[in-house]
Amino acid sequence: MNSLQIKYFLTAARTLNFTEAAAQLYISQPALSQQISALEKELNMQLFIRSKKKVYLTPAAVVLLDELPDYARQYEDILARARMANEGNSGIIRLGVLQGQCMEESLLKGYFAFRREHPNIAFDVSSYSFGKLKDQLDAKELDLIYTASFDIQDRPDYMYEVTGKNVGVAIISRYHPLAEKKITDLSQLKEETIITVQNIESQEVNRMIREDCRQAGFIPNLRNALSLDEEYLLVEMGMGIGIANQNSIACSNPNIKILKDLKIGENRFVLCWKKENPNPAVALFINFLRKKQNP
């Protein structure tokens, strides 16, 4: 039984007059009779008792007349929601955010504006370190990730939208002996331990730190942390120097100090997704942000 058959049956059952029902449906009376006969054959039950003067409902038809209107409304509602989801106007965007990272103000404003304009699209937000973000994206457990561009640029199967630039900073425990000294060059840290995430999390982070230290004239003494959260904890506990960016949560930790006179450079942050991502809400969100940035 399809939606058209339901409509034909309900109209005929309510009017108990095939000629009147056909007129309401804008079809001929023989065509309506054929549709009802086909429905009775499909359901293997008689629905109407026809006499020369009157049409009666069978007990089965009475049940259908009572139940089908609710079913039809539910069916139409399901189809409407399915169409919205197909067009990206409803659904869920699973967003992964780099561990310990705050979003730029412009991105957050765009996010909240999108939620106001598209209330039927929900966000499921989680946080991971570099490697786990990509693993989750590859496994299709996430639709979209917010991360540093240097960590995803070697992936031809990824697409991304730049959301902003962040200045790199060196961070240190407020109680570390170097906290009160003026550090203007990376070479002043050659005797110190530099804490970074392990290679399995981000080879690019380690490569960049080694290259910066090489240009400063020394080979760094690196200590690998299991995650960004652990890196920031080790820095807070005075175990070494960390490299972060201005939007890192670590920079607002009262127990951590930024070495403001030491210039590390800047990096771009991006929203990144797989090229073959089937979630239409992702494209809707990205295009919305683009229009906000370039009205």
**C-alpha R_g of the chain:** 32
Residue-level pLDDT at 292: 83
Residue-level pLDDT at 72: 79
Is pLDDT at 88 greater than 60 in this prediction?
A: no
Is pLDDT at 143 greater than 70 in this prediction?
A: yes
CA distance 23 to 260: 81
Residue type, 100: G
Residue 95 CA, distance from chain mean position: 4
CA distance 61 to 40: 10
pLDDT bracket for residue 81 (50, 70, 90): low
- Report pLDDT digits (tens) over 171-186: 999 999 999 899 999 9
Residue-level pLDDT at 134: 95
Give percent of the chain with pLDDT exceeding 90.
Answer: 66
Is pLDDT at 76 greater than 80 in this prediction?
A: no
CA angle 165, 128, 151 (to 5 degrees): 45
Residue-level pLDDT at 271: 97
**231 CB-near residues (< 8 Å, 6+ apart):** 195, 196, 197, 225, 242
Is pLDDT at 23 greater than 70 in this prediction?
A: yes
Residue-level pLDDT at 79: 73
- Average pLDDT score over residue span 40-58: 90
Residue-level pLDDT at 4: 86
Beta bridge partners of 272: 145, 160
Contact (CB, 8 A) for 273 and 282: yes
The mean-pLDDT minimum among 82-96, 170-184, 278-292 falls in: 82-96
Residue-level pLDDT at 51: 83
Give percent of the chain with pLDDT exceeding 70.
Answer: 96
**276 CB-near residues (< 8 Å, 6+ apart):** 157
Looking up tokens 């990272």, which residue turns up? 101
SS (H, E, C) the chain: CCHHHHHHHHHHHHHCCHHHHHHHHCCCHHHHHHHHHHHHHHHCCCCEEECCCCEEECHHHHHHHHHHHHHHHHHHHHHHHHHHHHCCCCEEEEEEEECCECCCHHHHHHHHHHHHHCCCEEEEEEEECHHHHHHHHHCCCCCEEEEEHHHCCCCCCEEEEEEEEEEEEEEEECCCHHHHCCCCCHHHHCCCEEEEECCCCCHHHHHHHHHHHHHCCCCCEEEEECCHHHHHHHHHCCCCEEEEECCEHHHHCCCEEECCCCCCCEEEEEEEEECCCCCHHHHHHHHHHHHHHCC
Residue 127 neighbours by CB distance under 10 Å:
16
pLDDT bracket for residue 170 (50, 70, 90): very high
- Report pLDDT digits (tens) over 103-138: 999 999 999 999 999 998 999 999 999 999 999 999
CA torsion 210-167-129-96 (nearest 10°) is: -150
pLDDT bracket for residue 87 (50, 70, 90): low
Question: pTM score, two decimals?
Answer: 0.68
What's the mean pLDDT when you consider all of the chain?
A: 90
Looking up tokens 């175990």, which residue turns up? 239
Q: Which residue segments constitute the domains of the chain, with CATH numbers given?
A: 3-86 (1.10.10.10), 91-165+268-293 (3.40.190.10), 167-266 (3.40.190.10)
- Average pLDDT score over residue span 194-211: 89
- Report pLDDT digits (tens) over 217-247: 999 999 999 999 999 999 999 999 999 988 9
